[in-house]
Chains A and B, each alone.
Chain A
Amino acid sequence: MAGRRVALKAIDWVAFAERIPPNQKSMFNALKTRSDAISAKLTSLPETPAAIDWSYYKSAVAKAGMVDEFEKKFKALQIPEPVDTQTSTINAQEAEANKSASAYIEGSKARIVQYEKELDKFKNMIPFDQMTIEDLNNTFPETKLDKVKHPYWPHKPIAEL
């Protein structure tokens, strides 16, 4: 009966719950209930089973040697620890998630840079009542009238007027 204990990391469920996006809340709830069930089951079992009173049995059982034999075998018994098959997959999952998360964060940072650039453009824009048409076309390229494609006024399809 070798007692071994892998240190369980304390998990702050409250902080974890704050971070999850709303579309994954159901998954989080499922995980939490599962984890709670498992930990409840664990705590319900005592760590070591009740010890067997060998002396009583030795005195009670008439058959000679049986109790001794049992005792010897029992003490020599090594219960194999269950094999851990999942931790490696979990670690692999974690590595993959880290990779995708860092890629996402990179993309997010690039998006933030782009947004900041556009925001600066808006902030540093000259006010509308001091713009000319050229300034307007420079600031908002989509307002530029294509005079080559539509050479005649109003330089855009009638439907877009």
Chain B
Amino acid sequence: MNPKQLILASNIQTHLCLQRHLLVTFFKTGALLCSRDVSRGFLVYPPSLRLFAEGHAEAETRLPSGATTRHFHPSNMLSRLVLVSASSLKGSGALGAGLIQASRSLHTSSQSLAPVPPLPEKGGKVRHGIIPEELFQLLYPKTGVTGPYMLGVGLLTYILSKEIYVINHETFAAASIGAVFIYGVKKFGPSVAAFADKLNEDKVAKAQEVKDLAMTSLAQAIEDEKKEQWRAEGRSVLFDAKRNNVAMLLETNYRERLHMVTNEVKRRLDYQIALQNLHRQMEQEHMVSWVEKSVISSITPQQEKESIAKCITDLKALAKATQAKATA
């Protein structure tokens, strides 16, 4: 292994170390640019991804000790795969901010908080989309408002003039890609973010709906059960009604029997009386008819003639009397 290779390897290592820093910031800023949903842990970015981003912060603190190793970390491969923007070299000062943000969940205590406290609604404040506000605050006391800008310009000039970064064809490629990327994000970022937010909102709304429905149905079920218990309490009335019915039927039956007995006795007595009356009536009639018959048969023809003559003279006298009365 000759020194040249060694230097080359170490160069690549440090270059990759820088790239890893940039990866962290890229992830964070990319996340912050594209979606406001850093706070909805389980919905867009599951905790695993959060930890991945955070884990990288740990990796970068661990890495300087392993900077002399010559074989490649798997995370190196990943950072090479993901990172294409040389333009984010400007944001190399974001290193500190990444660590600051990571401090929230760096598992410094042995026990993790439960329930997990909610993530902040918005990510850390950034200026110009990449540079965290903390840098400006850091430098403000010493250098005022223009401090970080001067730092940035100075760094850029240094890098360009000392040919630490060499301008080549790929610079223009990177610049164009960066321009397109920034244009795309600025134009479509909010709508994409809104769309993603809406997806999450829909999920939460659905879950909330399920929960509300469950709660109302449970409350309703409790009410219904109580009502059924109240209903069941009234069962004794039914049996009272039945017993009443039975008693009434018995009483009715008894009275009917009484009435029947009385009526039957009365009927029999009335029958006797009617029988007696009938007897007497028949005797009377028979007697009367017999008397009549005997009387009629005892009338002789002589008696009949005399009675008819007497009737005629009586009638004449009567007629004369009435005539006299009429003329008078």
What is the interface of chain A, defined by CB distance below 8 A to chain B?
A: 1, 5-6, 8-9, 11-12, 15-16, 19-21, 31, 34-35, 38-39, 41-42, 45-50, 52, 57, 60-63, 66-67, 70, 74, 77, 79, 81-82, 84, 86-87, 90-91, 93-94, 97-98, 101, 104-105, 108-109, 111-112, 115-116, 118-119, 122-123, 125-126, 128-133, 135-136
Residues of A within 8 A of B254 (CB): 79, 81-82
Given contacts A52-B262, A60-B273, contact A115 B218 (CB under 8 A): yes
Are A119's CB and B218's CB within 8 A? yes
Instruction: Write the nearest CB–CB distance from B22 to chain A, whole angstroms.
Output: 29
B231: interface (CB < 8 Å): yes
Instruction: Write the nearest CB–CB distance from A65 to chain B, whole angstroms.
Output: 12
Are A42's CB and B252's CB within 8 A? yes
Which B residue's beta carbon lies closest to that of A86?
A: B246
Partner pick for A97 among B43, B239, B244, B276, CB 8 A cutoff: B239
How far is it, in angstroms, between the C-alpha of A74 and the C-alpha of B262 when the chains are bound?
Answer: 8
Given contacts A115-B218, A119-B215, contact A105 B232 (CB under 8 A): yes
**Residue-wise interface mask of B (212-251) relative to A, using a CB-CB cutoff of 8 A (1 in contact, 0 not):** 0011001101100110111111111111111111111111
Are A90's CB and B273's CB within 8 A? no
Which B residue's beta carbon lies closest to that of A5?
A: B251
Instruction: Write the nearest CB–CB distance from B54 to chain A, whole angstroms.
Output: 15
Interface hub of A82, A109, A118, A128 (most chain B Cβ within 10 A):
A128
B325: interface (CB < 8 Å): no
B36: interface (CB < 8 Å): no
Residues of A within 8 A of B236 (CB): 94
Number of B residues with CB within 8 Å of any CB on chain A = 64
Majority DSSP secondary structure for residues of A touching B: helix
**Residue-wise interface mask of B (255-286) relative to A, using a CB-CB cutoff of 8 A (1 in contact, 0 not):** 11111011101101100110010000000000
Which A residue's beta carbon lies closest to that of B46?
A: A133
B55: interface (CB < 8 Å): no
Partner pick for A61 among B231, B255, B272, CB 8 A cutoff: B272
Are B218's CB and A122's CB within 8 A? yes
Are A16's CB and B237's CB within 8 A? yes
Are A130's CB and B116's CB within 8 A? yes
3 closest A-B pairs by beta carbon, nearest first, are: A19-B234, A49-B262, A94-B239
Given contacts A11-B237, A52-B266, A129-B204, contact A35 B258 (CB under 8 A): no
How far is it, in angstroms, between the C-alpha of A77 and the C-alpha of B246 when the chains are bound?
Answer: 25
Are B247's CB and A8's CB within 8 A? yes
Partner pick for A101 among B115, B222, B235, B269, CB 8 A cutoff: B235
B157: interface (CB < 8 Å): no
Residues of B within 8 A of A133 (CB): 42, 46-47
Residues of B within 8 A of A50 (CB): 262
7 contacts between A and B (CB under 8 A): A38-B245, A90-B243, A93-B239, A94-B236, A108-B225, A130-B115, A132-B47
Given contacts A79-B261, A133-B47, contact A9 B252 (CB under 8 A): no
Are B252's CB and A130's CB within 8 A? no
B69: interface (CB < 8 Å): no
Are B231's CB and A20's CB within 8 A? yes
How far is it, in angstroms, between the C-alpha of A125 and the C-alpha of B204 when the chains are bound?
Answer: 14
B207: interface (CB < 8 Å): yes
Are A61's CB and B115's CB within 8 A? no
Residues of A within 8 A of B222 (CB): 112, 115-116, 119
How far is it, in angstroms, between the C-alpha of A101 and the C-alpha of B236 when the chains are bound?
Answer: 11
> Which residues from 141 to 166 on chain B have a C-beta closer than 8 Å to any C-beta of chain A?
none
How far is it, in angstroms, between the C-alpha of A107 and the C-alpha of B37 when the chains are bound?
Answer: 47
B80: interface (CB < 8 Å): no
**Residue-wise interface mask of B (31-70) relative to A, using a CB-CB cutoff of 8 A (1 in contact, 0 not):** 0000000011111001100000000000000000000000
B3: interface (CB < 8 Å): no
Are A82's CB and B258's CB within 8 A? no
Given contacts A79-B258, A119-B218, A130-B115, contact A39 B272 (CB under 8 A): no
Are B272's CB and A66's CB within 8 A? yes
How far is it, in angstroms, between the C-alpha of A36 and the C-alpha of B83 when the chains are bound?
Answer: 93
Are B248's CB and A8's CB within 8 A? yes
Are B246's CB and A90's CB within 8 A? yes
Given contacts A6-B251, A133-B46, contact A119 B239 (CB under 8 A): no
Given contacts A9-B240, A35-B244, A35-B245, contact A101 B250 (CB under 8 A): no
How far is it, in angstroms, between the C-alpha of A38 and the C-alpha of B208 when the chains are bound?
Answer: 58
Instruction: Write the nearest CB–CB distance from A48 to chain B, whole angstroms.
Output: 7
